[in-house]
Structure formats: structure tokens, C-alpha cells
Amino acid sequence: MTRIVPVLGDITQQEVDAVVNAANNGMRGGGGVDGAIHRAGGAAVLRDCVARFPDGLATGDAGYTTAGDLPTRWVIHTVGPDYGSGQRDRSLLTSCYRRSLEIADELGATTIAFPLISAGIYAWPLDDAIAAAVDTIAESGTAVEEVRLVARDQRIFAEVERALSARGL
Ligand code: ADP
């Protein structure tokens, strides 16, 4: 049984087997979580992205790299849909969670931390971004034992807690 744990904090400081990056199609770094992960992980993360994803990554897909200086073994990069630019197909957002957990299972990760994919620069409405995250993780059938949902501020953290308790999770 997978535990979904709300965490108030910084994704780059999570001591878990894998952290998930809210990446973009280019896979060469960016703003928000992506910038923070590349800054904290160092050049090794970018080097691995270039080597493993020469053509970038499709929206809704996920792939992994090593984690450089981060206190985790792997970074699982996933590309959420850019709601603000008109990408509003929700199945692309739920696919990010499903694909990331599939990769975590392939890697044998037992603990993983997700940010709220698409909920920042990509402007997905927060309540639905949280619902997509919680429902998709809960229904995934992953072997991961602990999935952290990391919120950077108190308001978002409270919304994540509310969504979990509304579902009895
Ligand atoms: P996207 O481009 O997919 O929208 P962002 O990185 O802009 O991704 O934001 C995704 C979510 O992660 C937002 O809720 C944002 O507030 C949050 N966030 C940004 N930086 C961090 C961080 N260092 N740790 C955890 N969450 C973060």
C-alpha cells in the first residue's frame, strides 16, 4: 500500500530515492522546480540530460537521470502540459504521474517526491493539479512505498492536506 505524504518544503532537499522534476520539452533546464533541481544537482544533471535526451522529451512522458549533488539517487524528469499556452488535455497531466511512477518501479525506488506538476509556470488551476496528482498516484498500483507531494508554501500545502483527507488518504 502506497502512502501519500504531504510535505511543506523544497523538492531539492528531499532525502528520497528519486525526486521528480517539472521539466520542459527541451530538457536543458528552466525556471521553477527545474531551475532549482539543476542548480542544486550541478552540472552532472545537465550532462546526463544531454546524453540521455538528445531530442528532449514529449509532454506527458518521463525519463530519468542521475542526481548529481542532490541527496537522492535519481531525478525523474517529466514534462507537464502548459495550460497557460493552451495545452489543456488532462490526460497529459495524469500521464506525468503514471509514467514517473512506472520509471520509479523500474528503478526499484521505494520513496519518491513529486512537486505539483504544471501548477507553477504552466499555470494549471491549483485545485485540479492537486486532484490529478492525488487521484493518479492513489490509483497507480505502484510498488513505491512512500510518495511525497511537496508544496513550497503553506497555502498550497494546506490544499494538498485537504485533498488527501477528503479522500480518506
Ligand atoms: P511547471 O512549469 O510544470 O508549472 P513549476 O516548477 O513552475 O512547474 O511549478 C510547479 C509547482 O512547484 C508550483 O506549485 C511551484 O510553486 C512549486 N515549486 C517551485 N519551486 C519549488 C521547489 N523548489 N520545491 C517544491 N516546489 C516548488
Sign of CA dihedral 120, 14, 89, 136: negative
Q: Is 135 a catalytic residue?
A: no
Please tell me the number of Cα atoms within 13 Å of 147 on its side-chain side: 31
> Three-state DSSP class for 158?
helix
Question: Across residues 93-98, what is the average pLDDT?
Answer: 99
pLDDT of 69 reads: 98
Average pLDDT, the chain: 98
Q: Which of 17, 34, 48, 82 is catalytic?
A: 34
Place of cell 494538498: 160
Establish whether this prediction's ipTM goes over 0.90.
Answer: yes
Give residue-wise pLDDT tens across range 23-42: 999 999 999 999 999 999 99
Whole-number pLDDT of residue 122:
98
Q: Give the DSSP letter string of 118-156.
A: TSSTT---HHHHHHHHHHHHHTS----SEEEEEESSHHH
Distance 147 CA to ligand 1 centre (A): 17
Say which residue the cell 535519481 belongs to. Answer: 74
Query: Does the pLDDT of residue 1 top 90, yes or no?
Result: no
Whether 80 is in the pocket of ligand 1, judged by its Cβ within 6 Å, is: yes
For the question of whether the overall pTM of this predicted structure is more than 0.95, the answer is: yes
Query: Cα–Cα distance between 34 and 49 in angstroms, integer?
Result: 12
